[in-house]
Structure 1
Amino acid sequence: MINSAELAPDYYLTNFCTLVEFVVARYQALLSEEEYQFYQCFQLLGVDSQKLYVRLLSRKGVSSSAGALFRQSKLKYVEIEDPPTAVKELQAVGLLQCNPRVPRRELLPLFTKSELLSASASPVPKTLKRTDLEDILLGQAEDIERGNDSLWVGEIILAVKFACCFETFKLLFFGNLNQDLTDFVLRDLGLYRYESYSLDHQNLPFHNREQIDQYLDYYRCFEQVEVALAAGPDEILALAERMPSGIQGDATLRRRLDRLRLKLARQLERLDHLETADQLYQKCEHPPARERRARIAVKRGNTSKGLSICRQILDSPFDESERIFAESFGYRIAKREECTQEWPKPERYCPPTKTITLPQGPQRVELQVASHLQSAEAGICYYVENCLVNGALGLYVWDILFAPVPGAFFNPFQVAPGDFRTPDFLPSRRIQFEQRLAELDQDLLKGRVWRNFREKKGIANPLVAWDLLTEELLALALERIPPDHWRTLFQHVLSDINHNRCGLPDLILFPSTGGYELVEVKGPGDRLQQNQQRWLAFFAAQQVPHRVIYVEWQQP
């Protein structure tokens, strides 16, 4: 691991150039004329000018109608030898605009409150709120512009141009606009390590310009969602109308659009705009859209429609969670309408339980129970929650996780394949997973797990929590848990990886007599969640040892 002192002074320029060259090499034919012009203009610059532009592009300036604003006098970068000359060169190629014509209100945030106080044509209290101070200065606009103490005297304001083009480059590189050049720095500092996987042209996520434009439109809508949610139904519906329609075959964009529509529809539902919420839910393919529609139908008095939606879910459930909802909700509504013969009561598994009384202490309740089990039952107990089964699976199928499946990897900073949390993840690798699990025995499991544990230590894997998966825990688990149990646990996680990675028991107990037991802990007032109940029912069906311990605090 390296530290920040070892980063080259121009590390940010190197990273920027890596990103834009990567994009041009793969997507030049899909770039707009303006985006390619942005790239060409940057290539014409001297090194100092390139450094300054990347610095400004990476900083958060004052937003304005002309672009992000900066004061030239405040730019201090030791690695840039001649900033004024760099500014002139950037202005000449159009990447910077000097002293743009923007409303005066957009310029005031560039200055400190102290500077604003000094610029006032008449004395104002120092305790005055900044917003009120700005209003006073705007009222004195002519005095500020002509006065000797003007804010603008000798000040050059810079507006960064073509920033929207760089947004497109980031989208094409990362596949999203949540990541940025910071990822390069975290990698170079050794804070994140990524697997080396193939980045072939056939794995690219973008194939045409319409697709790129729809992603950019999606992110513009995403930026406005909180404002719309706070503003009310009209603004929510207006934003929903502005959202792109999606691209046939692009499941990633579809999921993102669905998440945004679900958020908008849920707020409409809360505001009691049930009909419009239902219409928006109908445009969503992913859960919980059908669940919300069933609830809305029942709330509006249309029980038959609510039950019909539940039957649709049961005929073709998106996942296990949606199926369980339809069983439970449909039964409750049918029972209320006195038609229980048409809707069987869902079976509910009751796991073995034990209640213990402990003195309330500073440790989290799971660790207190682990200590109790070690002393009371003469075993070794670890707090594992989701890290053990997921971690062992991630180590055992490491090469399959990072296999060059089309569309899975398209930039060097991916913790997981692009389709990892989607229904497409298992089908795209089904043959490899089935073969790997079919050949699982104790020796092969140990061999693969230990080899990857040592060779891949610290490399990001979506299933492996390196800080929790210790060598001692892994050694005991591989020795005590039978291969057949590992196989069935792995199969269950992979069957719905988005949901089944969670909900596993808090503890694993290794009794002194041998074997193992998975233990879910519930503190006072806590109860089993749906995903935990699903796992416990699965354990019972597969004869995996388990129980639930409820904790009561000892009375003082």
Structure 2
Amino acid sequence: MIAHSVEDPFYYLHNFRQVLAWVELRYVDLLEDEEQAFIRGFTDLPQTSQALLVRMVMRKGELFRTDRLAYAEIGCTHAALAPLLVRGWVCDDAPLSVEQLGVLLRKDELALGFSHLLKQPRAAKSQLLSELAELQLLPRPLAEWLPGFPVAIVHWRLQALCDRLRLLFFGNLYQDWSEFVLADMGLLRFEQVAFCADSRALRQRSEVALAMALHQCAEQLEAGAPPAQLLGTLQGLQAENPWLERRRSRLLFQVGQQCERLADWPLALAVYQDCGHAESRIRQVRVHERSEQWQAAFELASQMAAAPANALEAQACERMVPRLMRKLGGPPQPRRRARAVSTLELELPRELASLGVERAVRQHLLEGGGEVHYVENTLFNSLFGLLCWEAVFAPIPGAFFHPFQSAPQDLHDADFQLRRQAQFDRCIEQLADGSYRQVIPERFTTKYGLQSPFVVWQVLTPALLEQALHCLPPAHLQACFLRLLQDIRNNRTGMPDLIQFWPEQGRYRMIEVKGPGDRLQDNQLRWLAFCEQHGLPVEVCHVRWREAA
């Protein structure tokens, strides 16, 4: 992609043209006649009309006042609109409801235009709209509502089509045109990955329709649509595309959570049973429990305990099975106790509380010597990302399909590591032969600032990097990196808050900080157990505040 300076007044138009060219080149076999006609027709437009069209695409909504479509580089709005009106891409006489007028018109314009219908034309705008809504007036064009109104209201009619083109380019609808602007400004920089013929997010036209339908369902869920209504759509949306199936599973899981909030236990259970989400079986047990179906809950929890699908299930079963056995009248079942973790008890002055408990502990530890950093999940993830950069950004077919990706599309797929096994093996081998001590700093320099799913540049300073490479044994790094690869989504969080280095001695320790009333979360407990198992030095610091004398 060619970068365009935001100092160019038509920078946004150049970016839109690049999207059209990219989509036409890589997705021509998926484009419908209407979309192909739009791309051809757009090219034939005068530049000012192209620019005005893109301005509307980038703005929110589909209805615009012409006096608010004034841009210096475009000039006369009406002249730029004319070719769009001829093509029917924009309409200037669309029927408008009172609600739509309420969004587009100012209070004084409403009061003047509808004075013959209003009882209190000087009332607040919200009250004016309430009065008009009570009249149940049918939609009509602006010229019929307000004859002689000095500006027009135009309806941009191809937003759905442009959303489909954006979907084809990005592979999703959560990224938008601002990605180009941020890249042009240098605020976002991305690794350049070679694209091949298989570098496409969507491979069939049916997947385009499916992706749009899933997006609409997500919007409806956020707007509070009834779960049953959403399920009627979601249950008919299935695809072999892994990205789309993950999206569908996440949506189903969210619908199930909404059913739980509504205490609709049968529907929640049905949703979770149809959901491939990693926590769906855990939620099924909880639904059985909340609806007091103890036997069903126990049977499913026992099945999970016998063959947990992931670490989340294994940990959940340790709590659920004993609890359910008690509910069924069985003998008390001792819970397996986690290995004892070293603890550090601190009583700190109350005035340090304003720093936050982690930074307060950091300040206290600095007084005792060594270097202390507040890193939480960033340090080990960043070291992994630097060492394994080439594996993460390997041009695997289907992993990268546009130039604004900060991570491969299959990052959370079960076969993510397997598809790059040779690359990851070479990276991990550098821990054994010692070359990682050169590779990681070099990559820190050459890749600095590029978007990464693992590297947090604002935390990983040169000093922190130097101390980490000096004090962290390669065996400890390898153990952490392999655990991360086992389940990237769940294992990249829960790491201790602080890390303390003693460079002169070449040693370190990690500290998980807990303030008064705070307790360890499940992902933190899993990391602490892992550290104990592999001999990584870690402590849990419990903080109390000391009041001033």
Q: TM-score, normalised by structure 1?
A: 0.91
Structure 2 residue 69 is matched with structure 1 residue 75: yes
Matches within 5 A, 1:13-92: 13-61=13-61, 68-92=62-86
Partner of 1:408, secondary structure, is: coil
Report the Cα distance in structure 1 between the residues aligned to 2:364 and 2:147, rounded to whole angstroms. 68
Asked if structure 1 preserves the Cα contact closer than 8 Å seen for 2:498 and 2:510, the reply is yes
Asked if structure 2 preserves the Cα contact closer than 8 Å seen for 1:510 and 1:517, the reply is yes
Q: What letter is aligned with 1:193?
A: R
Structure 2 residue 476 is matched with structure 1 residue 485: yes
Structure 2 residue 339 is matched with structure 1 residue 349: yes
Match for 1:369 among 361, 368, 391?
361
Structure 2 residue 229 is matched with structure 1 residue 238: yes
Partner of 2:513: 521
Partner of 1:552: 544
Report the Cα distance in structure 2 between the residues aligned to 1:152 and 1:241, rounded to whole angstroms. 47
| Percentage of matched positions with identical amino acids | 33
Consecutive unaligned residues of structure 1, counting only runs of 5 or more, are: 62-67, 230-234
Structure 2 residue 188 is matched with structure 1 residue 192: yes
Partner of 1:311: 302
Report the Cα distance in structure 1 between the residues aligned to 2:388 and 2:115, rounded to whole angstroms. 71
Between stretches 186-195 and 485-494, larger displacement belongs to 485-494
Asked if structure 2 preserves the Cα contact closer than 8 Å seen for 1:203 and 1:408, the reply is yes
How much does 1:146 deviate? 12
How much does 1:136 deviate? 4.3
Match for 1:116 among 102, 110, 132?
110
Partner of 1:133: 128
Consecutive unaligned residues of structure 2, counting only runs of 5 or more, are: none
Matches within 5 A, 1:260-275: 260-275=251-266
Partner of 2:397: 406
Report the Cα distance in structure 2 between the residues aligned to 1:244 and 1:303, rounded to whole angstroms. 28
Asked if structure 2 preserves the Cα contact closer than 8 Å seen for 1:116 and 1:151, the reply is no
Report the Cα distance in structure 1 between the residues aligned to 2:331 and 2:428, rounded to whole angstroms. 41
Asked if structure 1 preserves the Cα contact closer than 8 Å seen for 2:494 and 2:523, the reply is yes
C-alpha deviations, 1:442-500, integer Å up to 9, x for none?
73111110111000111111111101011101101101111111111111111111111
Partner of 1:232: none
Partner of 2:242: 251
Q: What letter is aligned with 1:214?
A: L
Match for 1:291 among 246, 258, 282?
282
Report the Cα distance in structure 2 between the residues aligned to 1:99 and 1:337, rounded to whole angstroms. 69
Asked if structure 1 preserves the Cα contact closer than 8 Å seen for 2:70 and 2:76, the reply is no
Report the Cα distance in structure 2 between the residues aligned to 1:458 and 1:382, rounded to whole angstroms. 21
Report the Cα distance in structure 2 between the residues aligned to 1:552 and 1:442, rounded to whole angstroms. 45
Asked if structure 2 preserves the Cα contact closer than 8 Å seen for 1:307 and 1:330, the reply is yes
Between stretches 236-245 and 50-59, larger displacement belongs to 236-245
Partner of 1:505, secondary structure, is: coil
Asked if structure 2 preserves the Cα contact closer than 8 Å seen for 1:117 and 1:124, the reply is no
How much does 1:276 deviate? 1.3
Asked if structure 1 preserves the Cα contact closer than 8 Å seen for 2:295 and 2:328, the reply is no
Asked if structure 2 preserves the Cα contact closer than 8 Å seen for 1:524 and 1:551, the reply is yes
CA RMSD of aligned residues (A): 2.6
Report the Cα distance in structure 2 between the residues aligned to 1:12 and 1:456, rounded to whole angstroms. 27
Matches within 5 A, 1:97-496: 97-121=91-115, 128-136=123-131, 150=146, 152-229=148-225, 235-243=226-234, 245-339=236-330, 345-360=335-350, 361=352, 362-376=354-368, 378-441=369-432, 443-496=434-487
**Count of residues in correspondence between the two structures:** 540
Report the Cα distance in structure 2 between the residues aligned to 1:395 and 1:223, rounded to whole angstroms. 36
C-alpha deviations, 1:414-451, integer Å up to 9, x for none?
11111113323222223322342134237311111011
Asked if structure 2 preserves the Cα contact closer than 8 Å seen for 1:217 and 1:244, the reply is no
Between stretches 33-42 and 117-126, larger displacement belongs to 117-126
